[in-house]
Structure 1
């Protein structure tokens, strides 16, 4: 019902990483955050195969629904699986190495170097999400239905151990390759039909209607000023900047690569980082092109919608 796609935030981080100099004081922080977000995305990708084995007529599957509660606060669930007998929340973790679980308390990861690293325990996190989802369903008059959850470790090679021998690993912590079998186990345990298939479809539609993507000002978040962004069209072949516009084509002086539409990524970067409205002058400054007429032809060729006339024209990216 809601497929897995890269979030707008990841695209924003990729654009920011491209447009910030290696010497910028926030460069390392931006790169680390981008890697963390991509790691989480790959962890969720690992769930698409076992989920794809389920009969699609029996379940509604929604990736990353983000809902607002009655206190105007938002909560986001990695994967929400809806069935007629229960609702299942999946919290994906792309962790590797050795994981030591102290039930729902502390988690310690031991990586390749042997260094111990404390991690936030995902069990209380997904428990809280289940609680907030329950309240949200009650507010929308949905029937009382069991809400279950799993913490899914993406790498099957990740070793999961109890921190203390007398405290077993929680049953809700599983590897991704066991997800399908654990859902089958739930199906045998929960067989009372709470809603019919039309009810599942209505709930899926309601969640899609109420879903809200986060609106993140990444420049402000990472303390980057607009005039600190690298301007110019980036060569898609060698990443050199800027390319030069000549007779409607972009040319790279570093590798001699030529492209007709290399500017599209740069306009996308500007939309993600600054906003979706741009004037001819702003486009000239960002793409490093002197000619007003060349920029007008580029923007008209891209069939961008615009408002205003002549010198006051604003294009919508």
Structure 2
């Protein structure tokens, strides 16, 4: 049962919005941001590949949580995919890396050889082991019986070649590095190993969903940008030109496209790029509106949480 379905990562959506509004078109940071966007998009596609294989687990004894971010002092920890059953829990760390991958346990390093270039990555087994420890602490902090916790490192690209460094064999824990299409068979093995029920599924489900805290990174700070690097205004849905407000409608002076809802996307961009709260004044500044009344009507029409009154009213996504 898919309890928490995967949605596009916030950083992917932020990067997409940033590329659409970054100015000028030849901004020196654009190549780096485009590269990061492609990487994040590929990573998301890889995660969805794993979701496809996990979707075959239709028995009600399985609870599947995708992209969880849970509090653990002093910060949070993130899980790509968590499978909770009455008898055990399984962490799945998802990797979308192409080429030939060689794991070296002696140096705790993963080496990628792809298109003639060799690149080093941290040992994913170390990373997954750390996530396992964090999840154990989460169960303890919430006064829950801690079930056996296992992990897998799943490589989403079926063409990826996995190898051990010379002189090393694929012994535990490195046998937990698998291709995504083998996930279900590995889970079948775990079902045979763990048969004693220790987990209250309803209680764990409630706590995981209630404590999940989506990240909200400051994307402008990530690239050392400011609002001055952004094109403000309502962008035309057809040609991306800045639209003007005409009697309750947005008009594109370039292609003459008309829209009553083009501002919705612009406000989403504001939340992605600037901050998750907005005021009447900030809305007018970002949408190039002169009328506080028009801005108030737009804010009222949106599914936002309102706090405060008069000029101090704040709207939260």
What TM-score comes out, normalization by structure 2 length? 0.87
- 1:55-103 CA deviation, whole Å, 9 max, x = no partner? 341111111222222x322111111111122111100011112212224
Aligned length: 309
Provide the rounded CA distance (Å) in 2 between the counterparts of 1:190 and 1:303.
Answer: 45
Residue 189 (structure 1) aligns with: 193
1:181–1:297 Cα change, 3 Å:
same
Specify which structure has the higher proportion of strand.
2
Contact 2:109/2:122 (<8 A) preserved: yes
Contact 1:26/1:223 (<8 A) preserved: no
- Contiguous gaps of at least 5 residues in structure 2: none
Residue 124 (structure 1) aligns with: 126
Counterparts of 1:39-78 in structure 2, within 5 Å, are 39-69=42-72, 71-78=73-80
Residue 210 (structure 2) aligns with: 209
Q: Secondary structure at the match of 1:29?
A: helix
- 1:234-287 CA deviation, whole Å, 9 max, x = no partner? 12222x221222232222233332222111111111122223444444333322
Provide the rounded CA distance (Å) in 1 between the counterparts of 2:304 and 2:141.
Answer: 41
Provide the rounded CA distance (Å) in 1 between the counterparts of 2:61 and 2:244.
Answer: 55
- 1:10-67 CA deviation, whole Å, 9 max, x = no partner? 3222222222223434333333333332222222111122211113411111112222
CA drift at 1:289: 3.5
CA drift at 1:124: 0.5
Provide the rounded CA distance (Å) in 2 between the counterparts of 1:136 and 1:121.
Answer: 23
1:54–1:302 Cα change, 3 Å:
closer
1:146–1:316 Cα change, 3 Å:
same
Contact 1:102/1:167 (<8 A) preserved: no
- Contiguous gaps of at least 5 residues in structure 1: none
1:250 and 2:250 are equivalent in the alignment: yes
Q: Secondary structure at the match of 1:145?
A: coil
Counterparts of 1:81-100 in structure 2, within 5 Å, are 81-100=83-102
CA RMSD of aligned residues (A): 2.4
After the TM superposition, which segments of 4 or more aligned residues of structure 1 sit over 6 Å from their partners?
Answer: none
Provide the rounded CA distance (Å) in 1 between the counterparts of 2:59 and 2:76.
Answer: 28
Contact 1:80/1:90 (<8 A) preserved: yes
Contact 1:242/1:288 (<8 A) preserved: no
Q: Secondary structure at the match of 1:171?
A: helix
1:303–1:94 Cα change, 3 Å:
closer
Contact 2:111/2:121 (<8 A) preserved: yes
Contact 1:64/1:79 (<8 A) preserved: yes
Provide the rounded CA distance (Å) in 2 between the counterparts of 1:153 and 1:234.
Answer: 39
Counterparts of 1:98-177 in structure 2, within 5 Å, are 98-103=100-105, 105-111=108-114, 113-164=115-166, 166-168=168-170, 170-177=174-181
1:228 and 2:229 are equivalent in the alignment: yes
What TM-score comes out, normalization by structure 1 length? 0.87
1:262 and 2:262 are equivalent in the alignment: yes
Q: Secondary structure at the match of 1:284?
A: helix
1:124–1:264 Cα change, 3 Å:
same
